[in-house]
């Protein structure tokens, strides 16, 4: 859900942001910015989202055909937004299997865009309600897991169902399949460090951005702020499946992307974009992962995976929300 602000509204928003930084009045901000009020006061656009689901959508878009290459598990409420998500998954040709419950509504997130800056207010709701025993463990769902060859989970899910992640991660490791994880946010590396490090030995491909990498390095006592050294040290962390060496991919916004694999570190320049062509950076990281995965599942070289990742992210930041044209223009 995105909105564009007038100059006066931008000034008010910047003032509110400053107050938040000084007084940390996050609870007040959430109460002021209720979704209903945003809808009444601003010109709002609705987009189906969710970090992992965005990445799967982008991967499918990059691949085009066959359809339903990606299967997605998640949790929604039995409500209007849940129905929208299901319909959007069909339109994106994703094989989505949601755990539908009535305790909480479908999660939502308001994205306030001012120039190239953004602020997010999330109501996770149903996203926090996923249950391993009520969904992942069901025979028909687990068969879908067994059928897959590459797995991707955003780090946010570490706050919800560690047992679900570990079950999938261990299956991937035992069957020499690819298990991919995203650091997702600095707070995951800090406050859910124990959960993260329980999963890390099973991670074949680790994604993150520069701020997440810096926090991860600090929490792991890497004693370096150099992005290349962080990638190298993360790549060398203990790993259960020794048949595959870990790949670490760290983005830095408009700066070069760093990748560590097989004991070496490479850097890749991102695609240039005129600032006036940037519309919305929401979903850029998700798009990067989706582009990378689209080539990874086709067993393409890693440099092509990064090229596809950069292309996908470049497309998404030119549009509102994690949306894309009918077909990609990537070779």
Point out the residues that are catalytic: 286
Locate tokens 């916004």: which residue? 253
- Rounded distance between C-alpha atoms, residue 96 and residue 308, angstroms: 24
Q: Under 8 Å CB-to-CB from 289, ≥6 apart: which residues?
A: 55, 58, 152, 180, 182, 207, 309
Using alpha carbons only, give the angle 308, 233, 271 rounded to the nearest 5 degrees: 25
H/E stretch holding 256 reads strand 255-261
- Rounded distance between C-alpha atoms, residue 246 and residue 179, angstroms: 10
138-144-146-152 Cα dihedral, nearest 10 degrees: -110
Q: Under 8 Å CB-to-CB from 153, ≥6 apart: which residues?
A: 52, 165, 168, 180, 181, 182
Q: Half-sphere exposure (CA, 13 Å, Cβ side) for 166?
A: 11
The two three-digit tokens of residue 169, written as one number: 């991660």
Q: Under 8 Å CB-to-CB from 124, ≥6 apart: which residues?
A: 107
Nearest-CA neighbor of 109 among 2, 212, 18? 2
Residue 167 DSSP SS3: helix
């Amino acid at each position: 859900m995105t909105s564009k602000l007038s100059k006066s509204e931008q000034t008010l928003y910047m003032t509110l942001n400053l107050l938040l930084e000084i007084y940390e009045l996050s609870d007040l901000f959430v109460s002021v910015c209720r979704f209903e009020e945003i809808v009444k006061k601003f010109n709002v656009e609705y987009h189906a989202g969710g970090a992992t689901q965005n990445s799967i959508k982008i991967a499918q878009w990059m691949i085009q055909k066959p359809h339903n290459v990606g299967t997605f598990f998640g949790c929604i409420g039995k409500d209007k937004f849940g129905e929208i998500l299901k319909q959007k998954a069909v339109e994106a040709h994703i094989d989505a299997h949601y755990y539908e419950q009535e305790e909480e509504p479908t999660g939502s997130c308001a994205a306030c865009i001012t120039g190239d800056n953004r602020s997010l207010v999330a109501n996770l709701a149903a996203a926090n309600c996923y249950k391993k025993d009520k969904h992942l463990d069901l025979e028909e769902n687990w068969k879908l897991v067994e059928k897959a060859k590459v797995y991707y989970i955003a780090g946010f899910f570490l706050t919800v169902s560690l047992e679900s992640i570990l079950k999938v991660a261990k299956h991937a490791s035992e069957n020499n399949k690819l298990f991919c994880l995203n650091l997702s946010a600095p707070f995951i590396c800090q406050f859910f460090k124990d959960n993260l490090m329980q999963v890390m030995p099973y991670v074949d491909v680790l994604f993150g951005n520069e701020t997440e990498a810096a926090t991860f390095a600090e929490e792991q006592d890497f004693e370096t702020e150099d992005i290349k050294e962080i990638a190298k040290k993360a790549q060398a962390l203990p790993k259960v499946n020794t048949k595959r060496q870990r790949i670490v991919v760290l983005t830095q916004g408009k700066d070069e992307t760093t990748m560590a694999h097989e004991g070496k570190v490479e850097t890749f320049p991102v695609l240039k974009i005129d600032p006036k062509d940037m519309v919305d950076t929401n979903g850029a990281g998700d798009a990067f992962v989706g582009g990378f995965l689209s080539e990874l599942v086709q067993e393409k070289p890693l440099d092509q995976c990064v090229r596809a990742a950069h292309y996908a992210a470049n497309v998404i930041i030119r549009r509102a929300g994690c949306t894309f044209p009918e077909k990609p223009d990537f070779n």
